[in-house]
Amino acid sequence: MEKKVRVRFAPSPTGGLHIGGVRTVLYNYLFAKHHGGDFILRIEDTDQTRYVPGAEEYIYQTLEWCGLHPDESPKHGGNFAPYRQSERKEMYRKYAEELVQKGYAYYAFDTAEELDAMRARLRTNENPSPQYDRTVRMQMRNSLVLSEQETADLLAAGTRHVIRIKMPENETLSFTDLIRGEVTFDTSVVDDKVLLKADGMPTYHLAVVVDDYLMQISHAFRGEEWLPSAPVHVLLWRYLFGEDAMPQWAHLPLILGPNGKLSKRDGAKYGFPVFAANWTDAKTGELTEGFRERGFLPEAFINMLAMLGWNDGTDQEVFSLEELVQKFAIEKVHKGGAKFDYEKAKWFNHEWIKKLDVKHYEGEVKKIFVEKGWHPGVESYLEKVLNLVKDRCTLLSDFWEHSYFFFKAPAELDTTPIKSKWNDTKEGFFFSFAKALSSLSDWSAASIEALFKQLAEQASIKPGELQLPLRIMLVGGKFGPPVFDIVQVLGKEEAIGRIHSGLNMIREAV
């Protein structure tokens, strides 16, 4: 009987979510939904020294923006609550004690100073980072070397201590990774990791195993940086719950920056966001820009991340979330890390801006417009304008520069391109064009263009000679969408008004 698919994303609330984290959530979500399973959000806040206020709320907001809704979480609740590890603190100790009882773990009373001293003593060029492992554990202060009575006394006296796993010697451990296949380790080279800290909190290693078991997680996907500690987790599963109950692992490749692992610094250095949404560090006040505020659509952001390390085997690159859910297969995830390319990210956004109806992002665009000093006007007019310029916008923030002139008549004109060729015949043409426009009944770009060409022919001027002046009168310079589309969207009254004031300005300039 197949277990129900249950996956979890388990971030620690220590700051903004960067794109590597978001991709991990995405793949978890896609896998769960593809298999009709549950997607759980668990907050791993066992390190109280690194806890950052606001970080958890930020995670919810980011997931919501991306459209990745958890079935269970601290906020949404669920049958396996609590979902915050700090609130589960009492549950872990008993498993750690169980391991000690079974001889798989031991109490260690070494102080931070003693650990430092051990490392300093053993450090050499050949061994730059000595570990607390089988080679030194019998020289330390722990229940392996202390007598039972001494250990009991220390414990009874409330001596600060941790519980460490006792890694077996010379054992070959392997497990099957859904992406990488069989991965093998020699237990002798893994150190005696701390399982339960002196403050009573579990470390990640204990917590992830206990919680994955208690929350009936069927598949566990996480970043590749966890691969080296996988043997510890496999062992804990074996000792505590049996390897048969262990979730299937998949270690996701890393997302790289221009040189090495992608970092916040890369973003600042190369001018692209690395966080999903803006993040302000409460302590330093430092703001790290997000994709969202940069003008990315969630659809594009998700799409771009999904393709960074995965594809369905075809040439298709633009996928909606629904399509991704339908087609996602964890086996097709790449093994190698992927270098993030901001240009490609922008391309995805451009594709989505073109593809989506403007109603989808009108609200966001309005916010940006208001910041630029725009006053909300007629809804249908705004929509027409956005539809006209959407193809030329890569980011939502591009809309303003491509359309501001629809909301405000030009205060001055760039007449340099037309000045030298300006004459009375042309002026006369525009007078009669404006007049003819006022009585035009079919107000469409096509009939405006027909009218324009007809009058041009009557005046014996090539229409091409007149289009640029018209454009400049309407928008102020050499830019914007096709000129007759501009006339149409502007509307009769506004277009005629701009032609008349444009003529005045040209006359002054010539």
Q: Is 255 helix (H, G, I), strand (E, B) or coil?
A: strand
C-alpha to C-alpha distance for 68 and 73, rounded to whole angstroms: 12
Cα Rg of the chain (Å, integer): 32
Least Cβ distance, residue 375 to RNA (angstroms) = 25
* Angle of CA points 423, 427, 432, to nearest 5°: 150
Cα(149)–Cα(463) distance, integer angstroms: 103
Sequence length of the chain is: 510
Q: Residue 293 or residue 317: which is nearer to RNA going by CB?
A: 317
Any idea which residue has 């006209």 for tokens? 388
CB of 376 to RNA, least distance (A): 26
- In sequence order, the β-bridge partners of residue 248 are 219
Q: Tell me, yes or no, if 264 is annotated catalytic.
A: yes
Q: How many CB atoms lie within 10 A of CB 221?
A: 24
Smaller CB distance to RNA: residue 108 or 434?
Answer: 108
Phi, psi of 108 (to 5 degrees): -130, 130
For residue 310, CA distances in Å to 180, 270, 314, 448 come to 14, 25, 11, 49
Q: Which residues touch 68 (CB under 8 Å, ≥6 apart)? A: 25, 26, 29, 39, 302
Nearest approach, Cβ of residue 487 and RNA (Å):
12
State the nearest-atom distance from the C-beta of 224 to RNA, in Å: 6
CB of 344 to RNA, least distance (A): 4
Of 36 and 172, CB closest to RNA: 172
| Minimum CB–partner distance for residue 467 and RNA (Å) | 5
Going by their DSSP bridges, the two strands 338-339 and 255-257 should be labelled as parallel
- Of 344 and 367, the one with the shorter C-beta distance to RNA is 344
Residue 462 near residue 456 (C-beta atoms within 8 A): yes
Is 264 part of any known ligand binding site? yes
Catalytic hit among 75, 89, 264, 492: 264
- 40 bridge partner residues: 8, 72
- Give the separation between CA 107 and CA 484, rounded to whole angstroms: 81
**In this complex, which beta carbon is closest to RNA, that of residue 379 or of residue 482?**
482
Helix residue ranges, H only, 177-270: 204-214, 230-240, 264-270
- Whole-number Å distance between alpha carbons of 496 and 501: 9
Beta carbon nearer to RNA, 11 or 290: 11
CB 492 within 8 A of CB 460: no
For tokens 């964890």, the residue is 330
Q: Which residues are annotated as a binding site for ATP?
A: 264
Q: Which residues are annotated as a binding site?
A: 264
Active site residues: 264
